[in-house]
Amino acid sequence: MKNNEVFYEKRTWLISFFLIGLMLSIFISDQIITSSDASASKQVASFSAYAPPPNFLEIQENVEVVKNLAYSGTKDAILDIYYPKNQSEAMPVILWIHGGGYIGGSKDSRQDYAMTLADDGYVVANINYALAPEQKYPGPIFQANEAIEFLMANAAQYGGDMERFFVGGDSAGAQIASQVAAVISNAELAAAMDILPAASAEQLKGAVLLCGLYDMDTVRATQFPNLENFLAAYTGAEVFESFERIDELSTVNHITDAYPPVFLTVGDADPFVSQSEELKEVLLHQNIPVESLFFEGTNKQLKHEYQYALDTEEAQEALKRTLNFLFVNSQ
């Protein structure tokens, strides 16, 4: 009995140590975000990169916030909805999926950005999903599909028009969003994953993909900090490339001519810049419309998630281009 108690104490300690290590990885990776004055300098990045736009007080006055709606009975399946207060016409709907290396992050950290999108005339659903290692792949894909099903039934009461629907996300959330778009537009992938898409390819008008990863065969070469820990937690495979379903995560392998138009952006000093370049090449090969903002050759040193420093010129340019993409593709 005493030996068993010692074993379980050691096991509990090791699990706790592993989880602490993973969360520390999230902190370390966030340190490569662009500094808040990136347009004028090349300073080392920090959490201060997350900054609302200069007019955010006005946005708060204009946008209605509905918090913590349950979109299914699964773990952590809650979402917020943001929409303009004085809008009489039906609006396009955006499903937003936060990043965090599959093991961290939350909708709350993306609220300022999502409210900024809503202020331009959109109903934005900003979701939480259960995190690794407790929930592994493909859990977030199924939860995102459940969120779409919820929006199909409920978006109209907030002024949303699900015939004009977008999906978007950042970092790991961009990978999830890109795969959700692939599931909706690629019947073969949906069948392989045993998932029934809650919306049709005709309803999905576009994907907004920020600083994401899209090719599991080449992503290790990016040397993104702690990438192996993140993907090991998400897949359950110590060497993530050995995961038997790893191909499903490679959006570059599942683009068909039914994939929606895409807005892609990534900082010029982001380790994932090559991932966005790969995805763009595949999309263009399939004649999918692509709007991209990569800052090639600018030497701005824009790090991972630069687009959330909304007090900088570069992030404001990305926001402007995003809003234009949404407008053009929702007509």
* pLDDT tens figures, 44-56: 232 336 899 999 9
Letter for the amino acid at 224? F
Output the pLDDT for position 4.
Answer: 47
Residue that is written with structure tokens 């897949």 in the block: 235
Output the pLDDT for position 14.
Answer: 44
Q: Contact 182/279 with Cβ under 8 angstroms?
A: no
DSSP code string of 70-85:
E-SSSTT-EEEEEEET
Output the pLDDT for position 277.
Answer: 98
Output the pLDDT for position 296.
Answer: 93
Helix, strand, coil fractions of the chain, as percent rounded to 5: 45, 15, 40
Letter for the amino acid at 293? L
Percent of the chain with pLDDT over 90: 84
Summarize the confidence of residues 128-135 as an average pLDDT.
Answer: 98
For residue 101, the 8-state DSSP code is: T
- In the three-class reduction of DSSP (H, G, I as helix; E, B as strand; rest coil), residue 122 is classed as coil
Question: Residue 170 and residue 275: Cα distance in Å, rounded?
Answer: 13
Output the pLDDT for position 50.
Answer: 87
CA atoms within 13 A on the CB side of 164: 18
This prediction has a pTM of 0.88
pLDDT class of 20 with cuts at 50, 70, 90? very low
| Closest of 44, 64, 62 to residue 53, by C-alpha | 62
Tell me: pLDDT of 330 over 80.
yes
Q: What is the mean pLDDT of the chain?
A: 89
Summarize the confidence of residues 293-297 as an average pLDDT.
Answer: 96
Tell me: pLDDT of 8 over 70.
no
Summarize the confidence of residues 93-111 as an average pLDDT.
Answer: 97
Kindly provide the residue ranges of all beta strands, DSSP E only, lying in the chain, ordered along the sequence: 63-70, 78-84, 91-97, 123-127, 160-170, 204-210, 262-265, 290-293
Lowest mean pLDDT among 17-31, 99-113, 198-212, 267-281: 17-31
Q: Contact 329/262 with Cβ under 8 angstroms?
A: no
The CATH class for the domain spanning 50-329 reads: alpha beta
pLDDT class of 152 with cuts at 50, 70, 90? very high
Tell me: pLDDT of 172 over 60.
yes
Tell me: pLDDT of 132 over 70.
yes
